[in-house]
Amino acid sequence: MPCETGLSKLRPQKESQPMLLNLAQWLQSLSPDWGFLRVFQYITFRAVMAALTSLLIGLIAGPAVIRKLTALKIGQPIRGYGMETHMAKSGTPTMGGVLILLSIAISTLLWFDLSNRFVWIVLIVTLGFGAIGWVDDWRKVVNKDPEGMRSREKYFWQSVIGLLAAFYLVFSISESSNLRVLDLFMNWAVSGFDVNLPPKAGLMVPFFKEVSYPLGVFGFVVLTYLVIVGSSNAVNLTDGLDGLAIMPVVMVGSALGVFAYVTGSSVYAKYLFLPYIPGTGELLIFCAAMAGAGLAFLWFNTHPAQVFMGDVGALALGGALGTIAVIVRQEIVLAIMGGIFVVEALSVMAQVSYFKYTKKKYGEGRRILKMAPLHHHFEKSGWKETQVVVRFWIITMLLCLVGLSTLKLR
């Protein structure tokens, strides 16, 4: 058990000034009767409140957003080659991811330390990928084109955001303040793009915590880029059934919040042999807000769905998960906990690659699965939509438990 001195290190320092914490401290200065507001200093309390805030925003604003999307005739077009059972969903309001992003943004801004650089970069990546998804969805709706933004254009803008985030994070994780981050970047540039990064910037291997592969600046950037862009597209591919994507996002995001809290604590990080990265604890606020917003959206997205999140939600949430995993140095654990996302993406890659290969070799394309992504294969095999969704939820829950076990097992 950590001693009181150790516990005190887990508390945010006075320079941490979330918006509502400022209000609480002002009220305390007026009268000692407001002393109970000291609870606002604890990051765990603020995380719970962030989750409740985003949940309430989503539940209250949800019906109005759905009515507005319906009035604007922002309905989901269904691909002609899609599942026959999905044709009845044509016209269901899409772009509901806007509700998720608004809930996350408002709740996070209210409860996190506004000086924390890690939360800001996650917010920027999330909203940036959300903007790409917005354009994609808008083209689908306005142009009545189920394909939306062309893949090359979408991939280009994802790459721009992913690379910018990667270059910032490689130096941000290695230092404790923005000023020192700038100094490290200048040293890297002056030295001819050759600088030694600390061990915590290496690739961490779960279950073998003493193993950390040094990546170097360029290796870190490439890995970060692949994780952020890859997870964004993987979540987007998974979002094909009512409630299928949002609940795994909630579970994986919540688990990453635990890693963020531990990594941001010098006491717990040392005890669990994890890298100590000051400031990552505040990411728990974002993860909690994402969980609350996701549960609120699931209220309206459960079968039969009243609204779909669209690319504006799926791309943004996937990018957020990838960015958080990179910051807390748990890229491999993200692949484990988000196994459903990984398998869905691999199923599409395998299906397309095999189809092209057989078409070139035999003159006609052949398929490995009845339909890709994987969830459609199971639908074609006779599973009901709700069976696929709930079973994928169960698998994700088990994978998250495996991921969390890496905190202790070594």
Number of domains in the chain: 1
For residue 393, tell me if it sits in a domain: yes
Whether residue 347 lies inside any domain: the answer is yes
CA distance 335 to 250: 15
Helix boundaries (H) for 31-150: 43-71, 97-111, 117-142
In a domain, 119, yes or no: yes
Domain-located, residue 138: yes
Residue 37 lies in a domain: no
The CA angle 310-335-171, to the nearest 5 degrees, is 90
Q: Can you give the pLDDT at residue 179?
A: 66
Q: Express each pLDDT in 25-59 by its tens digit.
A: 777 777 777 777 778 788 999 999 999 999 999 99
Decide if 167 is inside a domain. Answer: yes
Query: In the prediction, which pLDDT does 14 show?
Result: 42
Q: What confidence tens digit (pLDDT) does each residue in 50-79 have?
A: 999 999 999 999 999 999 888 877 766 655
Residue 82 has pLDDT above 70, yes or no: no
What pLDDT score does 258 carry? 96
Least confident interval from 203-212, 270-279, 367-376, 395-404 = 203-212
Summarised one tens digit per residue, pLDDT across range 369-384 is 888 899 888 888 889 9
Distances (CA, A) of 183 to 177, 186, 279: 10, 5, 19
Residue 186 lies in a domain: yes
Q: State the SS3 of 23-58.
A: HHHHHHHHCHHHHHHHHHHCHHHHHHHHHHHHHHHH
Classify residue 229: in a domain, yes or no. Answer: yes
For 300, which DSSP code?
A: H
Give the pLDDT confidence of 90-118 residue by residue, as tens digits: 668 888 899 999 999 999 999 998 889 99
| CB neighbour burial string for 261-280, b if at least 16 within 10 angstroms, e if fewer | bbbbbebbbeebebbebebb
Structural domain for 276, as ranges: 44-405
